[in-house]
Structure 1
Amino acid sequence: MNIEKQILDYREPFNAPYMIREIAKNVHLPFVVYAQDFTVATVSFAIVFSALLILFGMNQLVVIVSLAIPYGLVQLFNRVEPDGKRADIFLKDYFLYLLTFVFRNKSLYHEQLHSFQQEKVIYHRCSVEQLSIKKEGEAKMNTLDVDQLKQEIKDSVVPELIHEFESLKAREEGFYELFETDDEVILMKKTLFRQFADGVIPMSEIPKLKEQYQSLIKQSIRKRITRLL
């Protein structure tokens, strides 16, 4: 005996909206009214009609508007389903989201609410060369820092000054001390740290900077030596 299996779909009755068939005991309606439509229409009519009646008094336009707005709201609730939800449920969830996450600065992390503080991010303009990522060895070959440039200038300027003032028979260490404490040297370091990020100077700029600062530093130290004589 073969028994055919019959598949029954109960989704429609279970998903059916609530309906009103009687308003009060023994007061039956000749037709079925959806509970949502009845609630939206009744509440909105009461609010709109009361407000218009207080503001403009009783007239034909007030009655028409009081009936039109509830009808429009009922159609809106039936036809518009943002995110697959009823309009009232969507609005409730949206306001709950605003109160919980936006105004209170909360975030959901591992199913728990955590407070966070937004920090202002400031972006600074920079060149493509500064953004490019280079290997450490390659970066060192293509750049010099401020201290390295200062050392190269010192190795060039101080021996020249020692030879120039050889007749003074002064200690060589004194010339190096004059270099380290010279105002032009200190000003050079401050200027280059402001001009180049982290004090890292591209090799293409080194010859120009050497030419610029060597003469200034040499002249400044020469004046100091002259004043000491």
Structure 2
Amino acid sequence: MMRTVTLPKATSRRTWLAQTCATLGAAVGVAVLLHAGAAAAKFDVNFTSARPSARLDLAITSTPATVKVLTWQGADIDGDGAPDFVNPTGKAPRQHDAYGYGAFGASRDGGSRPHEGVDYMVDAGQDVVAPVSGFVTKIGFAYADDAHLKFVEITNPAIGYVARVFYVDPSVEVGDTLRLGEVIGRAHGLEAKYPGGMTDHVHFELIAPGQNRIDATRVLAERYVTRLAT
């Protein structure tokens, strides 16, 4: 059977509402207020509850910020589903500076010879990694008259490629076995050798089977990936 609730006079509504909430609880009190009509809605009544579970907590969520990061994807030469090459510095090739371009085939010595590698930019002192897996087959000098600038040669007999990374202070020795991406040394700054504006970089030569130097960007493709911003 439906019961009718009769509101008291306006002068005692505030006291009546407070008593109702205290007796019946916040949930019933709110229901009474909603059914009381426009007159009851004018009152400023604060409802509290002894039950913490009766509180309504609003969770504000947001989508994490993301950024696009330039990466390099190594080619899979042997078909095992894994890359066989990696960027030795993780940075882009050297663009034009006071000494020319760092691209493969760029003009050198006034056009008398082509650039035989790709120059990948680097911060002096940062780690440089093995661009291929294999064995360290040689550690030599980039220039016959300079004992500071060295290169590391890595040979991968499984795929037949040889990699040479110049301008590093090696942390490996001839005969060492290296995994792809393992640290081979630290980058050497080039200001002393090339003052006046050469960008610090490593010179990366890649020799394909048959002893032909190839453009490393053929096996290290640039692409952008989306990552969470830090």
The bucket for the TM-score relative to the shorter chain is: under 0.3
Relative to the length of structure 2, the TM-score reads: 0.22
Relative to the length of structure 1, the TM-score reads: 0.22
Larger RCO (alpha carbons 8 Å, 6+ apart): 2
Structure with greater helix share of residues: 1
Structure with greater strand share of residues: 2
